[in-house]
Structure 1
Amino acid sequence: MSNDIDYRSVTCQASPNIALIKYWGKRNEELILPDNDSLSITLDLNDMHSYTTVSTSSSMICDTFYFDDIQQTKLSERMKKVLQEVRRRAKDNKIKFVEIRSHNSFPASSGLASSASAYASLAIALTNLFQLDNPQSTAAYLARIGSGSAIRSIYGGFVRWSSENECLSSCIYPAEHWSELRIIILIFNSSKKPVSSTDAMQRTRETSTLFQARLSTINDKINKLIEAIKIKDFNTFAKITMMDSSQFHAVCMDTYPPVIYLNDQSKHLIDLVHVYNQMDGNQIIKVAYTFDAGPNPFCFIRQEHVDEFLSLLKYFYPTMNDDVHKHVSNVNEKFSSINLPIMSNVLERIVLTKIGTGPKIIS
């Protein structure tokens, strides 16, 4: 804490969002204007979040950035761009520099949307610190030019990011609308992914023959998904979400050279979900998956099926780490009828969470 008389500080907490219909491709790289609309769920702050403190005073001689209390040697170009825009909009021209301290409660750069929560928390903190005009739309703009999908983490609940006009995001339904929906995140690999989303998107736009075909289906899928969310039709919700995930990764594979985010564990989970959904011989889908640009699945499930699905995960992904399956006591032996291999010690962590209500100013 500084003793400077003009020292000011704001801390914001924001959570990642998980795209049900993916954003993939930018028609404007500089302003991060998306090629298509996207639809997402913002996660609960208590389970996954970025925590960012931004401070300023006249005694600071340069911008500094600390991640997990380690000073970074330089600011990224996107962070510089965000700060440049803040200075352009700020009314207080005397204070020129900031100190940014940020950390995540979950792994970064591994397909878990860490950049979305990081830039959302940064954007909101900066907007409040410098008391910028039109705070919500300003924070959304700053978040977007930092990391496109961060614009969706400005809100809680179900969020749509438009590709039209000013490309703003909006809350379609609040978290309370579908309060029994749960999200189970399986972290198979927390390592940094081999190809960044930014590089992969550009490569896709330049080389994929399936890319334009995917764009032509997006709005129809979003409209159908919004209707399913409205009436809480989980079967339709699940089917559209899983099919868009598969289509997104097919486009990545169609890129040259191909971008491959899914690993053997990802593919195993896909097979496991479909077999599990068919076990009871009825038409009720119990669980749905989606994968962002990484190998780690996000599974959507209603509260009534959570315990059984967690038991299934413990059966097929046993591990020596007792913390991984801490939510499970017993394993149902009926899963032995599933003809898939058991994969031991491949699961690093399970996060059980729900839909979040959005960012929060801490101080």
Structure 2
Amino acid sequence: MSSESQFISKKYIQELTEGSITVSAPSNIALVKYWGKKQHQIPANPSISFTLSHCKTVTTLAFAKKTQSDSFSFDLLFEGKPKEDFKPKIQKFFERIETYMPFLKNYHFTIDTKNTFPHSSGIASSASGMAALSVALMHVEKQLDPEMDDGHFYQKASFLARLGSGSACRSVKGSVVIWGNHADFSESSDFYGVAFPFEIHPNFKNYQDTILLVDKGKKEVSSTVGHDLMHGHPFAAQRFLQAHDNLHRLCAVMQNGNLTDFVSIVESEALTLHAMMMTSMPYFILMKPNTLEIINHIWKFRKETGIPVCFTLDAGANVHVLYPENVSVEVLAFIKSNLVGYCENGQYICDAIGHGAELI
């Protein structure tokens, strides 16, 4: 049974004066959605996601020993320029993780971060950003404690990332990642993400995700507010049961390769996520008219061609178009001819399944 106490560091073996580490970590797209959370970033239901490959945050973490260790000290740069409005989030993150990383106040950090996808593109960067920072901090701790094994390293990195942004724990390691306790996965945990433990069917190897940028503006309702509205939601209890059931079904699909079942589960999950938003109090809608136009075009194309292309949505208006690699030519032609016109400035991003964070 996993517990938070396993991540409290013991006495460090080595001493460090200064150094620098660069890490990349990808975004991820949930197939079974997590919506609603308890205290300390604990999910109200389990989720499963595809780790992406190209949509990444690259973070360089430089550190230098301080003479006094009475407070956190850091500079934050975005694409090489100071980003003061990001600092409160990092301050809060450091406060949350200090128990597990007692060296934090001993160093001054310079955090320089950038994204491989366009800024303000409507793609959530909190998952990739917090995953990259957490893995970088773990590389510092690994130098302080060289005896740390890889299993603990990645588990703790995912644990820390969760405390920065819940879904960030799914961006640390693995192509298909589960977060949250579920009866089908003995190693699953509310505290960190775990790689899908069974053999994945060839149908899902190098699965493609083309992200259609419908609306690149700031969301009218933040995900944090949306999660909080699940407290007292009239359909919350049934939704949480549905997520458990859909994850059970998707576990079988990932092994047997049934693309028809994959499509129905994934699209149902996307629409259920937005149904929860539309039936909360206060209620809200994050989809845009062009989101619905794209969905209807995908349904029509799939019915006419039999090609197993489907959509999913995050908590926003953008559409993730998911499809096997072997139908890429047909699907990309369809996207360019039928869907790009519904994207803001005709923008879209081609991505695919990846493997998690990397040391650069």
Which bracket does the TM-score occupy, shorter chain normalised? 0.7 to 0.9
1:353 to 351, 354, 358: 351
1:143 to 158, 161, 180: 161
Mark the CA change 1:163 to 1:35 in structure 2 (over 3 Å): closer, same or farther.
farther
Match of 1:260 in 2: 285
- When the two chains are superposed, the root-mean-square deviation of aligned CA atoms in Å is 2.5
Asked if 2 retains the 8 angstrom alpha-carbon contact of 1:15 and 1:43, the reply is: yes
More off after superposition, 135-144 vs 74-83: 74-83
Match of 1:53 in 2: 60
Q: What is the CA distance between 1:111 and its match in structure 2?
A: 5.0
Q: Distance in 2 between matches of 1:159 and 1:274?
A: 27
Q: Distance in 2 between matches of 1:42 and 1:181?
A: 10
Letter in 1 for 2:325: Q
2:195 to 150, 171, 181: 171
Q: Distance in 2 between matches of 1:344 and 1:150?
A: 29
Q: Distance in 2 between matches of 1:94 and 1:151?
A: 24
Deviations 1:273-332 (A, max 9, x none): 11111114xxx45201000011111111112322222222222245xxxxxxxxxxxxxx
Q: Spell out structure 1 runs of 4+ moving beyond 3 A.
A: 74-78, 84-94, 107-111, 163-166, 173-177, 343-348
Mark the CA change 1:94 to 1:260 in structure 2 (over 3 Å): closer, same or farther.
closer
More off after superposition, 119-128 vs 305-314: 305-314
Asked if 2 retains the 8 angstrom alpha-carbon contact of 1:238 and 1:285, the reply is: no
Match of 1:322 in 2: none
Structure 2: any 5+ residue segments left out of the alignment?
1-15, 183-188
Match of 1:183 in 2: 209
More off after superposition, 136-145 vs 72-81: 72-81
Q: What is the CA distance between 1:91 and its match in structure 2?
A: 6.2
Deviations 1:181-224 (A, max 9, x none): 21111112222211110011112324x32222211211111011
Residue-pair matches, total? 326
2:301 to 264, 267, 276: 276
Deviations 1:67-108 (A, max 9, x none): 222212255554224323554444657833211111111245
Match of 1:128 in 2: 139
Q: What is the CA distance between 1:140 and its match in structure 2?
A: 1.2
Asked if 2 retains the 8 angstrom alpha-carbon contact of 1:111 and 1:292, the reply is: no
Deviations 1:238-279 (A, max 9, x none): 110000101110111111222211101110011011111111
Mark the CA change 1:148 to 1:86 in structure 2 (over 3 Å): closer, same or farther.
closer
> Equivalent residue of 1:55, what SS?
strand
> Equivalent residue of 2:355, what SS?
coil
Task: List aligned pairs for 1:103-122, cutoff 5 A.
Answer: 103-107=114-118, 112-122=123-133
- Percent identical across equivalent pairs? 26
Q: Distance in 1 between matches of 2:154 and 2:349?
A: 29
Q: What is the CA distance between 1:234 and its match in structure 2?
A: 1.1
Structure 1: any 5+ residue segments left out of the alignment?
319-342
Verify: 1:201 aligned to 2:227, yes or no: yes
Deviations 1:304-362 (A, max 9, x none): 322222222222245xxxxxxxxxxxxxxxxxxxxxxxx46745422222110111011
Match of 1:295 in 2: 317
Match of 2:329 in 1: 307
Verify: 1:24 aligned to 2:24, yes or no: no
Mark the CA change 1:135 to 1:81 in structure 2 (over 3 Å): closer, same or farther.
farther
Task: List aligned pairs for 1:13-92, cutoff 5 A.
Answer: 13-28=24-39, 31-44=40-53, 47-58=54-65, 62-73=73-84, 75-84=86-95, 87-90=98-101, 92=103
> Equivalent residue of 1:220, what SS?
helix
